[in-house]
């Protein structure tokens, strides 16, 4: 069977694009989060992507296996994704030894050419092990717990040329920079460039699924507009953690 037919994240997001709906990709920090996420997904009969930060693998090594077991036992489609993996050698070690369905090979802290070179090499390495890959095009401003501090780096919006470059690099999911932020948006709230987002989806032309980071503060109306623009994976963090 092909990787597309067996990889759970690919299956979930291919179905989302075909059905024109979005899927939450939620960061888990402990077993209680994982349990709550799975129960919520089952109660809503909804697919889900459980995400872990690389820092969780050293702070709580058993968490990835607990998440993988919960995903396998769920009555709805759930996959396990490593978010913002930024260490080249660590990504290879993880791909060799841990049960992730997909990995974000985040080389966006490098300049574009090195970003592309490293992304393509890691994509090939992961694909050979049945793992699908996500990459960030441009550079999304802001920072989050668990990832490298990029607050001092200038945000770079994604261009149509970026899309072609990363499609050639062979990634399965593209996370563009369209005015979305990691962290808080401030009093004005999120104001993504919807024309740019539509253009990126058109440029992808079905060759990769579209991901949006920093969607914690998105209203239901804005989320629906993003789905209409082609987004299938919505990364959230504090949205599902604040009530805790």
Which residues are tagged catalytic?
Answer: 83
Do 25 and 232 contact (CB within 8 A), yes or no? Answer: no
Which segments are annotated as binding site?
84, 106, 136, 182, 213
Do 147 and 84 contact (CB within 8 A), yes or no? Answer: yes
> CB-based burial of residue 62 (10 Å sphere; 0-12 exposed, 13-18 middle, 19+ buried)?
exposed
Q: Half-sphere exposure of 228 toward its Cβ, with a 13 Å CA cutoff?
A: 8
Q: Half-sphere exposure of 50 toward its Cβ, with a 13 Å CA cutoff?
A: 33
Which segments are annotated as binding site for Zn(2+)?
84, 106, 136, 182, 213
Residues in the chain: 244
């Amino acid at each position: 069977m092909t990787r597309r037919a067996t990889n759970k994240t690919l299956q979930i997001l291919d179905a989302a694009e075909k059905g024109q709906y979005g899927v939450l990709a939620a960061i888990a920090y402990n077993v209680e989060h994982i349990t709550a996420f799975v129960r919520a997904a089952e109660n809503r009969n909804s697919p889900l992507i459980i995400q872990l930060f690389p820092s969780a693998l050293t702070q709580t090594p058993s968490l990835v296996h607990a998440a993988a077991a919960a995903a396998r036992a769920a009555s709805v489609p759930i996959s396990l994704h490593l978010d913002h993996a930024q260490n080249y050698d660590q990504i290879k070690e993880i791909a060799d030894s841990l049960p992730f369905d997909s990995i974000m090979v985040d080389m966006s802290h490098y300049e574009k050419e090195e970003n592309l070179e490293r992304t393509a090499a890691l994509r090939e390495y992961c694909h050979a092990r049945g793992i699908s890959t996500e990459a960030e095009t441009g550079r999304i401003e802001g920072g989050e717990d668990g990832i490298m501090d990029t607050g001092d780096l200038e945000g770079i919006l994604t261009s149509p040329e970026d899309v072609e470059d990363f499609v050639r690099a062979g990634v399965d999911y593209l996370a563009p920079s369209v005015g979305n932020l990691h962290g808080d948006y401030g009093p004005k709230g999120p104001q993504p460039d919807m024309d740019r987002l539509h253009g990126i989806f058109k440029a992808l032309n079905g060759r990769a699924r579209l991901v949006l980071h920093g969607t914690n503060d998105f209203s239901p109306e804005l989320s629906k507009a993003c789905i209409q623009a082609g987004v299938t994976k919505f990364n959230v963090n504090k949205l599902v953690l604040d009530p805790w």
